[in-house]
Chains A and B, each alone.
Chain A
Amino acid sequence: MRDWPLWEVFVRSRRGLSHVHVGSLHAPDAELALRNARDVYTRRQEGVSLWVVPSSEIVASDPGERETFFDPADDKVYRHPTFYSVPEGVEHL
């Protein structure tokens, strides 16, 4: 069982919220990965829905490319909607 693949687990804590990554686990296949996720990550009523994804299927950005990926956004303040004046009495903005 040492060669069980790794799976990433996502839990939706309530209806209306999105699934959030909570951790990973080992399982021989998808069906058991879902069961294991239920037992490891939702023991204390943490969720109403579960996703499991093979860790090998996740395409991740390269930490070495962080500067080209993310730094260009640093000086684009106009992308933040902070230049609008908000009328008096408008809530939930």
Chain B
Amino acid sequence: MTSRSDALSDYVLGLADDALVSAQRMGWWISRAPELEEDLALANIGLDQLGQARTLLSYAGAVEGAGRTEDDLAYLRDDRDFRNVWLVERPQTDFGVTIARLLVFASYQSELYAALATSSDATLAGVAGKAVKEVAYHLDHARLWTLRLGDGTDVSHERMQAALDAEWPYVEELFTPVEGALVDPASLRAPVLARVSSVVAEATLQVPDVSPTVGGGRRGLHTEHLGHLLAEMQHLHRSHPGVTW
């Protein structure tokens, strides 16, 4: 039986880790995007997510009450202690995959933050109130690219559909119940899927009909990719504890 503050701290960690891991994956595109302008757009999106993660991590540490800072939580936990979903942790080195994932994730975060903004927890309501404007832009970016790639050339249509197919098994995990949740993840399912489906249809694409993966990120069970991501993200801090520049 976990205490109420443990459950809340775990819930906030889940929100924080989703944003943090997604930000790290988004950062991969810096210097690699198809155009300088898109490079900056993806970097901006990643930085927005990183900002959300920082505030959420600090709050998770405060609720936990063991004196852990945002840096302790970001840099000194192993993969089994991360609470993010599988959707955000896998590599995204294909532009279509990046856009498909952002379409799903930004739709989810839009609904999540809109609901959290009216929650009774003042800190989370504050974070969510600011973030809801950021993720609206992320969603807009993903929507515009989904429309152009899906309703573009034969090749772009095919690749965008393949990207959606690749990401879709990981969608359901976003809606699995979590102890301590201030917004029931299951309540987000219908509005999130409605947002995604309308864009997919407008882009002349199909909502994939695939079985969901088992998931388990909220319980600390991850794909093999998270360890590699953390190795890169945490290396500097672990090699030089407390380093600043």
Q: A40-B40, A43-B44 are in contact. Are A35 and B35 (CB under 8 A)?
A: no
**Residues of A contacting B141 with CB < 8 Å?**
35
Give the residues from 17 to 53 in chain A that come closer than 8 angstroms, CB to CB, to chain B: 25-28, 31-32, 35-36, 39-40, 43
**Residues of B contacting A60 with CB < 8 Å?**
none
B152 — nearest CB in chain A belongs to which residue? A28
Contact with A along B106-126 (1 / 0, CB 8 A): 000000000000000000000
**Residues of A contacting B44 with CB < 8 Å?**
39, 43
Is B37 within 8 A of A39, CB to CB?
Answer: yes
CB distance from B26 to the nearest CB of A (A): 13
Contact with A along B134-148 (1 / 0, CB 8 A): 000000110010001
B-side binding surface: helix, strand, loop or mixed? helix
**Residues of B contacting A25 with CB < 8 Å?**
36-37
Q: Does A84 contact B (CB under 8 A)?
A: no
Interface, chain A (partner B; CB < 8 A): 1, 4, 25-28, 31-32, 35-36, 39-40, 43
Per CB-CB distance, the 6 closest pairs between chain A and chain B, nearest first, are: A36-B37, A39-B41, A39-B40, A1-B34, A39-B44, A25-B37
19 pairs, CB–CB < 8 Å, chain A vs chain B: A1-B34, A4-B35, A25-B36, A26-B36, A27-B37, A28-B148, A32-B144, A32-B148, A35-B140, A35-B141, A35-B144, A36-B37, A36-B38, A36-B40, A36-B41, A39-B37, A39-B40, A40-B36, A40-B40
